[in-house]
């Protein structure tokens, strides 16, 4: 039998190929992770940054008797609308979401709730504490009464404020607002938080820079109960409608950096476990808006608030998700309804 003198070389080449393959499989992800870790993610924290053309921030901090609170106040004259931002937000998100009102003669007050951006969580963890912090901010700024514009996870604080300080509210609007307790709610785990802070947010920003449509599609997966064709249609509308696309990009940017927003987001989850809002103590004129295809805050939350707040009006959006109020091709109608509602009650204040 002839001895195979080439076998050792073949084994050597195979071992070498395996080593190279393993090195590539391990090394490339490691290099990507290292690159992402070294990249700052380009999160803009300038207190005077521009969010969108015509929508700029001028963040300040008020040292109230309830603790420090960061805020933006747009405008110098007119009735005040207090914008209570959603989860993973801050004063920037509140300012952006209420920007549709800025040409209607209002001053828009957008605070960062505790645990968000420049407001420490120690300024108020519970709904009542956060409501009292908002009242203290109004005292500090010399503002007597406000219209309240609450969104999503910010709505429980808006409801609590209207219930605890009814004399300070001339009108209340809630869009896609949480109103029911969730006993199973839990804050993001430490592992998830570390990932989101270190790598996840950078991957998201990198993905958005390469394919914004991927981010839009992922967002719709979370915020809607749309069919695949409905999601495709909505994503197409956002991508090809310039103003809507720019608004989405600004909204997306107003979730970074995660580490400045996660303490408040986690606290929101904790507060919803045994949430008991005294809806019957809300006396201000109230308007509840909710999408029937909301995949983030189910429609029953809107129904619950509308049924339990005395005299509340409602506007249901049958074909809309959690963000349809801003991003839908039909957004003009619910926006008109809110603007008319606030205008009517601001005149009566």
Contacts of 218 (CB under 8 A, 6+ apart): none
Q: How far apart are CA 197 and CA 218, in angstroms?
A: 19
Strand order in the sheet with 67-74: 60-64, 67-74, 107-111, 80-84, 146-151, 169-175, 286-291, 313-317
Q: Which residue has the higher pLDDT, 187 or 74?
A: 74
The answer to whether residues 263 and 270 touch, using CB atoms and an 8 Å cutoff, is no
Average pLDDT of the segment spanning 60-64: 98
147 three-state secondary structure = strand
Average pLDDT of the segment spanning 212-231: 96
pLDDT at 85: 98
pLDDT at 348: 84
> If pLDDT is split at 50, 70 and 90, which confidence band does 204 have?
confident
The answer to whether residue 219 scores a pLDDT higher than 70 is yes
Tell whether the torsion through CA atoms of 139, 143, 147 and 148 is positive or negative: negative
Percent of residues, the chain, with pLDDT higher than 90: 77
Q: What is the pTM assigned to this prediction? A: 0.87
Q: Dump pLDDT digits (tens) for 81-112.
A: 999 999 999 999 999 999 999 999 999 999 99
Q: Which helix (H) or strand (E) holds 16?
A: helix 7-38
Contacts of 64 (CB under 8 A, 6+ apart): 133, 136, 137, 139, 140
Q: Which domains does the chain have, with CATH numbers?
A: 50-185+261-348 (3.40.50.1820), 190-259 (no CATH)
Mean pLDDT computed over every residue of the chain: 89
- DSSP state at residue 324: H
Q: Dump pLDDT digits (tens) for 8-57.
A: 555 556 555 554 554 444 444 544 454 545 445 567 889 999 999 999 99
pLDDT at 10: 57
pLDDT at 24: 46
pLDDT at 212: 95
pLDDT at 258: 85
The answer to whether residues 66 and 132 touch, using CB atoms and an 8 Å cutoff, is yes
Average pLDDT of the segment spanning 300-304: 98
Average pLDDT of the segment spanning 155-170: 98
């Amino acid at each position: 039998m002839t001895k195979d003198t080439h076998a050792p070389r073949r084994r050597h080449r195979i071992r070498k190929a395996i080593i190279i393959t393993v090195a590539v499989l391990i090394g490339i992800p490691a290099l990507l992770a290292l690159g992402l870790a070294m990249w700052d993610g380009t999160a803009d924290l300038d207190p005077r940054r521009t969010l969108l053309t015509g929508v700029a921030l001028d963040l300040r901090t008020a040292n109230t008797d309830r603790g420090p609170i960061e805020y933006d106040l747009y405008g110098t004259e007119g009735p005040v609308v207090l914008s209570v931002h959603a989860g993973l937000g801050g004063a920037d998100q509140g300012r952006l979401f209420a920007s549709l009102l800025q040409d209607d003669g209002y001053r828009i007050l957008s605070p960062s709730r505790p645990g968000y951006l420049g407001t420490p969580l120690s300024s108020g963890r519970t709904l009542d504490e956060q409501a009292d912090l908002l009242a203290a901010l109004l005292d500090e700024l010399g503002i007597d009464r406000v219209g309240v514009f609450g969104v999503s996870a910010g709505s429980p604080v808006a409801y609590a404020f209207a219930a605890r300080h009814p004399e300070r509210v001339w009108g209340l609007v809630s869009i896609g607002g949480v109103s029911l307790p969730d006993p199973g709610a839990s804050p993001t785990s430490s592992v998830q938080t570390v990932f989101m802070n270190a790598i996840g947010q950078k991957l998201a920003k990198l993905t958005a820079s390469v394919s914004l449509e991927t981010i839009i599609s992922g967002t719709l997966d979370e915020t809607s109960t749309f069919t695949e064709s409905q999601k495709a249609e909505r994503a197409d509308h956002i991508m090809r409608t310039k103003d809507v696309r720019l608004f989405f990009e600004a909204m997306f940017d107003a979730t970074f950096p995660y580490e400045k927003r996660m303490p408040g987001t986690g606290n929101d989850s904790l507060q919803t476990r045994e949430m008991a809002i005294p809806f019957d103590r809300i006396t201000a004129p109230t308007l509840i808006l909710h999408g029937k295809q909301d995949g983030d805050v189910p429609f029953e939350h809107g129904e619950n608030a509308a049924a339990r707040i005395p005299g509340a009006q409602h506007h249901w959006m049958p074909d809309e998700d959690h963000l349809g109020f801003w991003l839908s091709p039909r957004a003009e109608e619910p926006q008109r309804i809110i603007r008319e509602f606030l205008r009517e009650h601001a005149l009566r204040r």
